Amino acid sequence: MKSKYLYKTSIALAMAVVWTTGTSAEETLTVVSFGGSYAKACVDGYHKSFEEETGIKIKLEDYNGGLAQVRAQVDAGAVHWDVLDTESAPLMIGCDEGVFEEVSDLELPPAPDGTPAADDFFDGMLFDCGVGTLVYATVMVYNSENVDGEPPSTVKDFFDLEKFPGRRGMRRSPSGNLAWALMADGVPSDRIYEELSTEKGLQRAFRKLDTIKEHVIWWETGAQAPQLLADGEVFMTTAWNGRIFNAQVLENQPFVIIWDGHIRDYGALAIVAGAPNLENAKKFLQHATSTRGMVGVANHISYAPVRHSGLPLVGKHATTGVDMKPHMPTFPANSKNFLWYDIEFWTDREDELIERFNSWLSR
Amino acid sequence: MTDKRSGVQRLIVPVGLVLPLIAFILVTFVIPLGSMVIQSVHDPEVAEVLPNTLNLLSEWDGTSVPSEEVFESMAQELVLSRESRTTGKVATRVNRIASGTRSVFGKTARRLERIETTELRSAMIDIDDRWKDVELWIAIREAGREYTVKHYLHAVDLERELDGGIHPVSEDQRIYNTLYLRTLFVSLAVTFFCFLIGYPIAYAIANVSDSMAKILLLIVLIPFWTSLLVRTTSWLVLLQNQGVVNDILVWLGLVNDSDRLALIHNMTGTLVAMTHVLLPFMILPLYAVMRAIPTDYMKAAASLGANPAQSFVRVYFPQSLPGISAGCLLVFILSLGYYITPALVGGTKGQLISNMIAYHIQSSLNWGLAAAISVILLTGVFICYFIFDKWVGVDKLRLS
């Protein structure tokens, strides 16, 4: 008797589980992001308002970027992620590989003043498989405590070991470093990729990197760069501007960003192909990429909106009250000389250049 | 009846006990490994998207721009691929053979939809003049092979030239062979240092009182329970230029403040941090074996006139060999796959072969190449294992 009773209960329970997961799938959405202070900024910036306005419950998961997990889910036909916070290169490669839904016909909300989304977004921020959400920058930084005389102010200074002796921190990756090497060698920003497309230009870039190679400490993860600078291990380093903002404002580090020649890239939201909650995911994209959503993030972390209507609305940092505008890569004073990360060039050439860069490193 | 039943039971129980393990290994090891080996030689994507074009290309001479017929078929299949969203799969794969051609495919497929002409050859060359390049067509033909060894060639710094011969890649592109050798060197060195440091510690733990042994074991194990990243970062704090070790050396006057020692972001850093991380894997098997060595043997050796050094070398050491084998094999094989630690503390020389595997799995999505490198690494492990077996004998391996 007892076992029969148990048997029945377990069936009922199993059915209840199936039933609840089946129905709750209508009202939930799995959003996958990079974790840390950035994910927190997104939660405060637009997740909460999305949940309040739609009643859809967001399940937030963390990942370390890249496409391996998404592709594994799509290949196996067992997709449980809906929305993926991603970067330019994975967005392009993933779109080509068919792991993202096409969203080019998704209707996006207009700017607060009624400007249609197509005009409000920066050029090239609406993709076949995703919508741009923010601009971040890779910048050069120094620690003002270590500077006596005139501080460094240009990309040239980074490569000038005589004027500014001391070690340099650089990311162990070819992308920014090759461009900066050419800039320091006198190539104007608008001709960098033209030059990098030729064998001669590539050799020129590596030759310029040769001049500081012995003095470089290569960093791998975003947290290493501010750490190297704070510990006095390097005199200057390249870094992601969000990390430096955190160090400056939340940890009171005397770091100074050199905005000259910074490299801009964007972050974007994409929907995983075969997402279980496709309609909710679309609603989420519409909400998150509204001017309000982007400004919400920019008030928590120094990543700039990719809508023209965004920057003027950026206000003070939510907890420290610091004015966020001057920390935005797109702030006019910071935008005098910069370079966009050329996504077409890098998706075409990255594999080859990474191998070449590693080969150069080990010589 | 009872006998028969117990016979079946006798079979069911052991099989039942190992069944979960077999299932687990099958699902988590054998199947992924098998599919990985297949991926390294089998890539049907391009052949599935461009069947007709590839068919036509098999009769092409490989020296002149292909005929109108080939272009026509390519155009048709490209437009179809746009609908099935597979253009990118072709583009990625051709791009790996002829770097810098990825954008040709997407661009052409997009524009072809709007073109109303039958002169497809000139139309496509108008869209992108790279369609005149013989190299591009050779790359397409190459990418269309369902079964290929190209990933293996790539993984040992070789490439197939246009004429079909196999040559080393240009010098500034070579990387994988260097990384295999470096990985091997780092693993051997780490194993050696672990042995050097671990042996005396294990000996001490095995020969002190029980309560003392517990404390010493705890000291060995505590770092083992700490997160890998935390341990690695602590080494940064200790060894860096402005770090604790250098500060002490300067304070003691052994080193000038202006020329502090470079202890990290180089090979020294890699070896120190990895040895520390892997030390417990050496100490634990050594300790287990040493604890079982009776102290009577050493006493007997002494009573027969051997001095302590002699009795250690001729009596104790040989008995601890199974522990040494187990420890060395464990540490060596674990270090072959380590890469986070060397990447964080190893500087320019901190890139090991596993870093490239991770890159091709995570970022470039070239799983075929990642699989080929892994298979080569795995083969290396097997070779090491066989050398070890011939030299020491796996049957001597003991964990207690």
Distance between CA atoms of B158 and B175, rounded to whole angstroms?
A: 11
B1 band by pLDDT with thresholds 50, 70 and 90? very low
Q: Is residue A6 part of a domain?
A: no
pLDDT at A2 over 70: no
Q: Between residues 196 and 215 of chain A, which touch chain B (CB distance below 8 Å)?
A: 197, 206, 213
Mean model confidence pLDDT for chain A: 90
> Are both A178 and A280 inside the same structural domain?
no
The partner residue sitting opposite A233, judged by closest CB among B87, B179, B240, is: B240
> Are both A206 and A307 inside the same structural domain?
no
A60 band by pLDDT with thresholds 50, 70 and 90? very high
Lowest mean pLDDT among A278-292, A343-357, B66-80: A343-357
B396 band by pLDDT with thresholds 50, 70 and 90? low
Q: Is residue A110 part of a domain?
A: yes
Can you tell me the mean pLDDT for B160-187?
88
Distance between CA atoms of B12 and B17, rounded to whole angstroms?
A: 8
Model pLDDT, residue B258: 80
pLDDT tens, residue by residue, B111-122: 887 788 888 999
Instruction: Provide the angle, in degrees to the nearest 10, between the axes of the packed helices A343-361 and A199-210.
Output: 50
Partnered with residue A141 across adjacent β-strands are A237, A257
Distance between CA atoms of A323 and A315, rounded to whole angstroms?
A: 6
Lowest mean pLDDT among A259-263, B85-89, B314-318: B85-89
Strand-strand pairing, B158-160 and A236-240: unpaired
Contact B331, B282 (CB under 8 A): yes
Lowest mean pLDDT among A234-243, A313-322, B216-225: B216-225
For B284, residues 6+ apart whose C-beta sits below 8 A from its C-beta are B220, B327
Contact A85, A42 (CB under 8 A): yes
Q: Note whether A75 contacts B: Cβ–Cβ < 8 A.
A: no
Model pLDDT, residue B250: 92
Residue of higher predicted confidence among B95 and B3: B95
pLDDT at B369 over 80: yes
pLDDT at A292 over 80: yes
Q: Is residue A274 part of a domain?
A: yes
Model pLDDT, residue B102: 87
Residues of chain A with C-beta less than 8 angstroms from the C-beta of B173: 352, 355-356, 359
Contact A136, A241 (CB under 8 A): yes
> Are both A140 and A126 inside the same structural domain?
no
Model pLDDT, residue B67: 92
> Are both A219 and A260 inside the same structural domain?
yes
> Are both A228 and A341 inside the same structural domain?
yes
pLDDT at A7 over 60: no
Closest listed residue to residue B346, CA positions, set B278, B294, B271: B271
**Record: contact A347-B241, CB cut-off 8 A:** no
CA distance to A275, B159, B179, per residue, from B174 (Å): 40, 11, 10
Model pLDDT, residue A25: 46
Partnered with residue A169 across adjacent β-strands are A217, A237
Residue of higher predicted confidence among A266 and A1: A266
DSSP state of A265: E
The partner residue sitting opposite A351, judged by closest CB among B241, B361, B366, is: B366
> Are both A253 and A309 inside the same structural domain?
no
Long-range contacts, B288-294 (Cβ 8 Å, 24+): B288/B323, B288/B399, B288/B400, B289/B319, B289/B320, B289/B322, B289/B323, B289/B326, B289/B398, B289/B399, B289/B400, B290/B202, B290/B203, B290/B205, B290/B206, B290/B207, B290/B320, B290/B323, B291/B206, B291/B400, B292/B400, B293/B206, B293/B319, B293/B320
> Are both A234 and A273 inside the same structural domain?
no
pLDDT at A22 over 60: no
B5 band by pLDDT with thresholds 50, 70 and 90? low
Q: Which amino acid is at B342?
A: P
Q: How many domains does chain A have?
A: 2
Mean model confidence pLDDT for chain B: 88
Contact B69, B56 (CB under 8 A): yes
CA distance to A117, A223, B79, B101, B265, per residue, from B236 (Å): 48, 13, 54, 42, 9
Listing DSSP states for A9-23 in one string gives HHHHHHHHHHHHHHH
Neighbours of B83 (CB within 10 A): 10
For B140, residues 6+ apart whose C-beta sits below 8 A from its C-beta are B46, B50, B53, B54, B57, B90, B94
Interface test with A, best of B49, B85, B103, B228 (most A CBs within 10 A): B85
A196 band by pLDDT with thresholds 50, 70 and 90? very high
pLDDT at B153 over 90: yes
A303: closest CA of chain B, how far (Å)? 23
Q: Is residue A16 part of a domain?
A: no
Range of the domain at A282: 28-135+266-328
CA angle A344, B140, B79 (to 5 degrees): 70
Q: Is residue A124 part of a domain?
A: yes
B76 band by pLDDT with thresholds 50, 70 and 90? very high
Q: Note whether B242 contacts A: Cβ–Cβ < 8 A.
A: yes
> Are both A350 and A218 inside the same structural domain?
yes
Q: Is residue A2 part of a domain?
A: no
CA distance to A18, A190, B190, B339, B343, per residue, from B267 (Å): 55, 39, 11, 13, 11
**Record: contact A67-B106, CB cut-off 8 A:** no
Can you tell me the mean pLDDT for B261-280?
90
Residue of higher predicted confidence among A49 and B62: A49
A3 band by pLDDT with thresholds 50, 70 and 90? very low
Q: Among all residues of chain A, which has the CA nearest to that of B175?
A: A359
Contact B137, B60 (CB under 8 A): yes
pLDDT at A147 over 80: yes
Partnered with residue A307 across adjacent β-strands are A121
**Record: contact B179-A218, CB cut-off 8 A:** no
B399 band by pLDDT with thresholds 50, 70 and 90? low
Q: Note whether A344 contacts B: Cβ–Cβ < 8 A.
A: yes
Distance between CA atoms of B315 and B312, rounded to whole angstroms?
A: 5
B306 band by pLDDT with thresholds 50, 70 and 90? confident
Closest listed residue to residue A133, CA positions, set A14, A298, A329, A317: A298
B388 band by pLDDT with thresholds 50, 70 and 90? confident
Q: Quote the longest CA-to-CA distance of chain B.
A: 102
Listing DSSP states for A63-130 in one string gives --SSSHHHHHHHHHT-----EEEEEHHHHHHHHHTT-B---TT---PPPTT---HHHHBPTT-B-SS-
The tokens describing A101, both together, are 């839904």
pLDDT tens, residue by residue, A74-117: 988 899 999 999 999 899 888 877 899 999 899 999 999 999 99
Can you tell me the mean pLDDT for A188-206?
95
Lowest mean pLDDT among A41-45, A316-320, B8-12, B311-315: B8-12
Model pLDDT, residue B3: 55
Can you tell me the mean pLDDT for B249-272?
88
Structural domains of chain B ordered from first start: 45-143 (no CATH), 176-396 (1.10.3720.10)
Residues of chain A with C-beta less than 8 angstroms from the C-beta of B182: 362
Residues of chain A with C-beta less than 8 angstroms from the C-beta of B175: 355, 358-359, 362
A20 band by pLDDT with thresholds 50, 70 and 90? very low
Q: Is residue A217 part of a domain?
A: yes
> Are both A306 and A270 inside the same structural domain?
yes
pLDDT at A17 over 80: no
> Are both A173 and A87 inside the same structural domain?
no
pLDDT at A249 over 60: yes
Distance between CA atoms of B312 and B306, rounded to whole angstroms?
A: 9
Can you tell me the mean pLDDT for A352-361?
91
DSSP, collapsed to helix, strand or coil, labels residue A62 as strand
Model pLDDT, residue A1: 39
> Are both A171 and A251 inside the same structural domain?
yes
Model pLDDT, residue A100: 93
Q: Is residue A179 part of a domain?
A: yes
The tokens describing A117, both together, are 């989304």
Question: What is the pTM assigned to this prediction?
Answer: 0.84
CA distance to A38, A45, A297, A327, A334, per residue, from A317 (Å): 14, 12, 10, 10, 18
Express as a percent the part of chain A with pLDDT over 90: 75
Model pLDDT, residue A15: 47
Distance between CA atoms of A293 and A306, rounded to whole angstroms?
A: 11
Can you tell me the mean pLDDT for A293-308?
96
> Are both A148 and A245 inside the same structural domain?
yes
DSSP, collapsed to helix, strand or coil, labels residue A200 as helix
pLDDT at B184 over 50: yes
Phi, psi dihedral angles at A132 (to 5 degrees)? -65, 145
Model pLDDT, residue B4: 56
Q: Among all residues of chain A, which has the CA nearest to that of B233?
A: A224
Express as a percent the part of chain B with pLDDT over 70: 96
Q: Cα Rg for chain A, rounded, in angstroms?
A: 23
DSSP state of A169: E
Residue of higher predicted confidence among A308 and B342: A308
**Record: contact B349-A67, CB cut-off 8 A:** no
Distance between CA atoms of A43 and A89, rounded to whole angstroms?
A: 24
CATH value at residue A273: 3.40.190.10
